[in-house]
């Protein structure tokens, strides 16, 4: 299960690279304005497929973890299906997470990793959706963000004169590597905190209150530099000429 998750960003990146090369080759006889408009219209479909892929993969992982926890704790039999409240909770959590932080992800992937024009965006989205949906079909769990990041990098390099800001990519990879041990430490701290109280109910309430306070603090910090649909590409010319390639940091 780990190997597909590690290989998926590279597979998606290579597919997006090829798709971008083909997109520019097949439309080189058209004007930049007409080809760009066509790809922007096509992105309605490709972005919708990415949204569908996001739900078919990321939400399933969360549901699986919750169900395993319920089974391990004796609250659910091993042959039971996924309770409806788990499905609804995971769907709401994914939706709220995307709603609250989605514009920041869009700014990073769409403007800071590389410059993305409409043909590249369509290629990256199509490659990402295909990779994630294929993985979901075979039962492999992936990170949508990592796969899409690979697609964006591939699309960035697929355009003539394309480039990638490798320093930004390095920071993203560092955050990905840090996520799992950080989550494990937080989970262990929560378990120890709950065990310190006389009853599990009191411990759960305390941990939930602390988590809510930390979340509120993070939200307040994020609001200081709020990113919305109105300023996500502020100062960026979406059709700008590609800059010279940058040397990897």
204 assigned to some structural domain: yes
Q: How far is CA 35 from CA 78, 110, 159, in A?
A: 53, 19, 14
Return the pLDDT at 235.
57
Binned at pLDDT 50, 70 and 90, residue 185 comes out as: very high
User: How many structural domains comprise the chain?
Assistant: 1
139 assigned to some structural domain: yes
235 assigned to some structural domain: no
DSSP class per residue in the chain:
-HHHHHHHHHHHHHHHHHHHHHHHHHTTTS-HHHHHHHHHHHHHHHHHHHHHHHHHHHHHHHHHHHHHHHHHTTSS-TT----HHHHHHHHHHHHHHHHHHHHHHHHIIIIISS---HHHHHHHHHHHHHHHHHHHHHT----HHHHHHHHHHHHHHHSTT----HHHHHHHHHHHHHHHHHHHHHHHHHHHHHHTSSSHHHHHHHHHHHHHHHHHHHHHHHHHT---TTTTTTT--TTPPPPPPPPP-
Residue-level length of the chain: 249
* Average pLDDT of span 185-200: 88
* Domain around 23: 2-224
240 assigned to some structural domain: no
236 assigned to some structural domain: no
pTM for the predicted model, two decimal places: 0.79
Q: pLDDT tens-digit profile of 27-82? A: 887 777 777 788 888 999 999 999 888 888 887 888 888 898 889 888 888 888 88
Report d(CA 84, CA 95) in Å as an integer.
Answer: 17
217 assigned to some structural domain: yes
């Amino acid at each position: 299960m780990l190997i597909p998750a590690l290989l998926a960003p590279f597979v998606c990146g290579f597919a997006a690279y090829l798709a971008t090369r083909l997109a520019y080759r097949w439309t080189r006889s058209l004007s930049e304005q007409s080809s760009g408009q066509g790809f922007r219209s096509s992105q309605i479909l490709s972005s919708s497929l990415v949204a569908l892929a996001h739900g078919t993969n990321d939400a399933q992982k969360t549901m699986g973890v919750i169900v395993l926890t319920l089974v391990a704790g004796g609250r659910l039999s091993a042959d039971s299906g996924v309770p409806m409240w788990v499905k609804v909770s995971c769907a709401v959590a994914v939706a709220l997470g995307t709603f609250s932080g989605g514009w920041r992800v869009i700014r990073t992937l769409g403007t800071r990793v590389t410059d993305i024009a409409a043909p590249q965006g369509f290629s990256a989205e199509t490659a990402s959706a295909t990779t994630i949906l294929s993985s979901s079909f075979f039962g492999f769990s992936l990170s949508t963000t990592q796969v899409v990041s690979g697609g964006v990098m591939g699309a960035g390099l697929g355009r003539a004169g394309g480039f990638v800001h490798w320093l930004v990519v390095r920071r993203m990879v560092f955050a990905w590597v840090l996520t799992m041990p950080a989550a494990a430490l937080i989970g262990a701290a929560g378990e120890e905190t709950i065990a310190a109280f006389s009853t599990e109910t009191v411990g759960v309430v305390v941990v939930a209150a602390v988590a809510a306070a930390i979340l509120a603090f993070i939200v307040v910090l994020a609001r200081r530099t709020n990113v919305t649909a109105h300023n996500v590409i502020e100062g960026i010319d979406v059709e700008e000429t590609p800059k010279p390639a940058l040397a990897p940091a």
